[in-house]
Amino acid sequence: GRRRHPVRPGGGSPATLRFLSASMEVHPSRELVGSGQRAGRDRKSQAHVRIWSTESLQTLYVFGMGELDSGVLAVAFSQLNGGSYILAVDAGRESILSVWQWQWGHLLGKVAVSF
């Protein structure tokens, strides 16, 4: 199911960059970056979205495991409400656009899109 995995302050390290990023977007505040991650080869490494600090490069939030297929083609922060939401396009067989309230890891909705 949907899970939010906050990283405790000071936790994590730049080694978390070992995940391959499919996409990246700077938050309107310029203090955060959202990135879409691909699934790894093993079952433990699922596709997900990460929110990073631009200053420390620490991972602050991780969400989307179990909701995203093989990876994330694109991410974008909302512009009109100060970046409270992030949109992610799934790289699976169906291109699914999902909208997340990223601070809580809540999936607000999703819809199939075509390019």
Q: Return the DSSP state at 7.
A: P
Q: Which structural domain, as residue segments, surrounds residue 90?
A: 14-112
Convert the pLDDT of each residue in 50-91 to its tens digit.
999 999 999 999 999 999 988 899 999 999 899 999 999 998
- Per cent of the chain over pLDDT 90 is 58
To the question of pTM greater than 0.85 for the whole model, the response is no
Q: Answer yes or no: is 37 within a domain.
A: yes
Per DSSP, helices labelled H in the chain are none
Residue 113: half-sphere exposure toward Cβ, Cα within 13 Å: 16
Per the structure, the count of domains in the chain is 1
Q: Answer yes or no: is 21 within a domain.
A: yes
Convert the pLDDT of each residue in 92-102 to its tens digit.
888 899 999 99
Mean pLDDT of all residues in the chain? 83
pLDDT over 60 (residue 3) = no
Q: Please, are residues 110 and 60 in contact by the beta-carbon 8 Å criterion?
A: no
Q: Answer yes or no: is 83 within a domain.
A: yes
Confidence of residue 22 (pLDDT cuts 50, 70, 90): low
Q: Answer yes or no: is 94 within a domain.
A: yes
